[in-house]
Amino acid sequence: MAVILSKKPLSAAEKDLSRVRKGRDLSFFDLVSIDQVTPDDLGLLYDVARRFRDYKTYKFSFNKGSSQVNAFFEPSTRTSSSFDLAAKQLSMDTAGVSSNSSVEKGESYLDTVQTIDSYNVKTIVIRSKESGVPAVAARYTQAAIVNAGDGWHEHPTQALLDGLTMLDHCKSKDMKGRVVVIVGDIMHSRVFGSLVRLLKMLKAEVRISAPLTLIPEDVEKFGVKWYGKVEEALAGADIVYALRVQSERGANGFIPTLREYSKMFGISRKRLDLAKKDAILMHPGPVIRDIDVHSALAAVDEQSYILRQVENGMAVRKALLWLIVDRMDGKKKTFTRK
């Protein structure tokens, strides 16, 4: 028997967003890696995200009737709350799955994800300790999989919000001729994994600085240059991007002490002054004050864009969830069961 669904007329805000969208769709169904994102996708995401940002917490009805499960198999504060609020501000129903659930009882993550998928949810947001879990899960679900960070691999929505923050700062469509310096635990960072891919797409000059113990093999093939002296990397930088030294990922032992790391690579006022006058400081959070970033710079300094990143995160995730769930072209992803 056919079900009867009626659609409410669009509000003025929704009509505005639809005008910005111009009937466009993303080229991908799941987002597991920045490698999937085309320049057109990026343009669409940012057009929509900027407009969503203007409407702050306004509740849009675009995704009404659709559900989302936030499956965070690893603890998270900002990413999980940001995805949850973004979905709710699009009128989605959400549920959360945390790390201490069936996966710990011995169920395979694939079975867990396929179980969630059977709720007929539209999106499953996955954070995993191991690399590749969202990418593999995406092959076996009807729901769109959004990678909220997998192991040391990628954290694509973080890179998307960082890209928006950088482009807005530079008032440009790309980062050509701009210097981005990434400092910190490159090896264990999924933020780096996505950011470096996005920055190459945006044509930025990317410099990385950290002890070699925190630099992965063949990293230069991403088109980045390593600097052992952070001061040399910072000279003439437009963006200074500090990464946390992630002790819970086994990074301990890669540096003698946090004290020495902070002395050699921590972003202080003096070091930030080596960058361009209008350079901005970014950090994906959580900031370990006085280790990655000098405390005085962390949130209050006018050059620090760390809280602006968080705000952009809301807008970018809202844009992504709308575009993924509410497709104009009616196309559906293909998947198999395992």
Partner 1 sequence: MSTLLIAGGHVIDPKNGVDGVADVFVRDGKIAAVGRNLKEKADKKIDAKGLTVTPGLIDLHVHFREPGREDKETFETASKAALAGGITAAVAMPNTNPIADNQTVVEFILKRSRDLDLINIYPTGAITKGQEGAMLSEINELKNSGAVAITDDGHDVQKEGVLKRAMEYARTCGVLLMSHCETKDLTEDGVMHEGWISTQLGLPGSPALSEDMAVYKNILLAEKTGARLHLMHNSTAGSMRAIREAKKRGAKNITAEVSVQHFALTDKECMGYNTLAKMYPPLRSQEHIDAIIAGIKDGTVDAFTTDHAPHIEPEKLKAFQDAAFGTVGLETSFAVMNTYLVKPKHISLKQGIEKMTSSPARIIGINKGHLSKGADADIAIFDTEKEWVVDEKKFLSKGKNSAFIGKKLRGKAVYTIVGGVVKYDNGTIIA
CB 122, CB 327: distance < 8 Å:
no
Q: Which long-range contacts (CB under 8 A, 24 or more apart) does 106-111 make?
A: 109/73, 109/133, 109/137, 110/136, 110/137, 110/140, 110/338
Number of H helices, E strands in the chain: 12, 9
* Size of residue set near partner 1 by CB under 8 A: 25
When the beta carbons of 7 and 221 are compared against partner 1, the nearer one is 221
Restricting to residues 116-135, name those near partner 1 by CB under 8 A: 128, 130-133, 135
Closest separation between CB of residue 35 and partner 1, Å?
9
DSSP bridge partners of 225? 207
- Residue of 74, 154, 185, 292 interacting with partner 1 (CB under 8 A): 154
- The site string for partner 1 over 167-206 (x = CB under 8 A, - otherwise) reads -----------------------x--x-------------
Site string for partner 1, 259-298 (x = CB under 8 A): ----------------------------------------
Give the ranges where the chain is alpha helix by DSSP (H).
12-21, 39-54, 78-88, 109-117, 133-137, 156-170, 190-201, 230-234, 258-265, 269-272, 295-298, 306-325
Asked if residue 212 binds partner 1 (CB under 8 A), the reply is no
Closest separation between CB of residue 135 and partner 1, Å?
6
CB 144 within 8 A of CB 124: yes
* Interaction site with partner 1 (CB under 8 A): 108-110, 128, 130-133, 135-136, 150-154, 190, 193, 216-219, 221-222, 250, 338
